[in-house]
């Protein structure tokens, strides 16, 4: 049994979506977190080393960081084939998108939001415009990041784009709009939204 440590409408919401997609046995443990507006507090019941969400416990074993949790869960529950396994020709692309999401996309959007100029040769990420050229090119071949088939990488990237739709930080293109629609029209997304309450 997987325990998902979850705070409503946070980065853990998309793991309800992933666990629903996988049909995995899981329970949600609601915890409080510090919110960007200064509200909330770290919850002593949350095993995440920094009191953040998401975190999961699998039989007492802790996994944290979104990309690591996505990989852990799709490896552990391969039945629905939404995380290419070792030996699959798409495995390298899958790992690359998960790491790219965490190491390039997240810091790029946070630095754009904060208007931090980090020198190109120093930052480990690139500007959001350059990321979107790459993403649009991938989706043009798509319809998903890995090509024909939906994967957990689309859960991380697609739900993040869904949040930013309409923000000046994300340039809308027909490809991005269609992609977000494809990801958020999935029944597991709807089920996850219904469970993401509080
Ligand atoms: N890199 C982490 C980020 C997790 C994260 O920052 N989560 C936010 C919620 S969206 C949080 O828990 N914030 C509370 C805090 O920073 O104490 C991941 O992707 O898992």
3-state secondary structure 108-151: HHHHHHCCCCCCCCCCCCCCHHHHHHHHHHHHHHCCECCECCCC
C-alpha 55 – ligand 1 centre gap (Å):
10
Q: Which residues pair with 194 in a beta bridge?
A: none
pLDDT at 87 over 90: yes
pTM reported for the whole predicted model: 0.97
Q: Which atom of ligand 1 is nearest to the CA of 69?
A: 20
C-alpha 157 – ligand 1 centre gap (Å):
16
Asked whether the beta carbons of 5 and 48 are under 8 A apart, the reply is: yes
Phi and psi at residue 9, to the nearest 5°: 50, 50
C-alpha 73 – ligand 1 centre gap (Å):
19
Residue list, ligand 1 pocket, CB within 6 Å: 10-11, 33-34, 51-54, 65-66
Q: What is the mean pLDDT of residues 11-22?
A: 98
Nearest protein CA to atom 11 of ligand 1, as residue: 52
Q: From 42, 46, 50, select the one nearest 3 (Cα to Cα).
A: 46
Nearest protein CA to atom 6 of ligand 1, as residue: 52
Q: What is the pLDDT of residues 109-162, one digit of tens each?
A: 999 999 998 888 899 999 999 999 999 999 999 999 999 999 999 999 999 999
Q: What is the pLDDT of residues 47-73, one digit of tens each?
A: 999 999 999 999 999 999 999 999 999
Q: Which atom of ligand 1 is nearest to the CA of 53?
A: 12
What is the per-residue pLDDT for 118?
85
Euclidean distance between CA atoms 97 and 103, whole angstroms: 10
Q: From 130, 20, 138, 58, select the one nearest 90 (Cα to Cα).
A: 138
Tokens of 6: 């979850």
């Amino acid at each position: 049994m997987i325990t998902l440590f979850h705070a409503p409408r946070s980065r853990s919401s998309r793991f309800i979506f992933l666990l629903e997609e996988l049909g995995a046995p899981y329970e949600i443990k609601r915890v409080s977190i510090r919110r960007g507006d200064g509200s909330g507090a770290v919850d002593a019941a949350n095993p995440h080393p920094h009191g953040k969400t998401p975190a999961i416990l699998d039989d007492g074993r802790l996994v944290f960081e979104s990309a690591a949790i996505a990989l852990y869960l799709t490896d552990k529950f391969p039945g629905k084939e939404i995380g290419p396994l070792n030996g699959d020709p798409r495995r390298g692309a899958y790992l690359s998108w998960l790491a790219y999401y965490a190491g390039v996309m997240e810091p790029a959007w946070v630095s754009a939001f904060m208007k931090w100029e980090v020198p190109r040769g120093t930052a480990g990420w690139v500007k959001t415009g350059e990321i979107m050229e790459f993403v649009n090119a991938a989706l043009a071949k798509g319809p998903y990041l890995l090509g024909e088939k939906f994967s957990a990488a689309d859960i991380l990237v697609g739900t993040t784009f869904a949040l930013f739709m309409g923000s000046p930080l994300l340039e809308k293109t027909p490809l991005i709009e269609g992609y977000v629609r494809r990801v958020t029209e999935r029944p597991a997304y709807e089920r996850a939204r219904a469970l993401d309450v509080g």
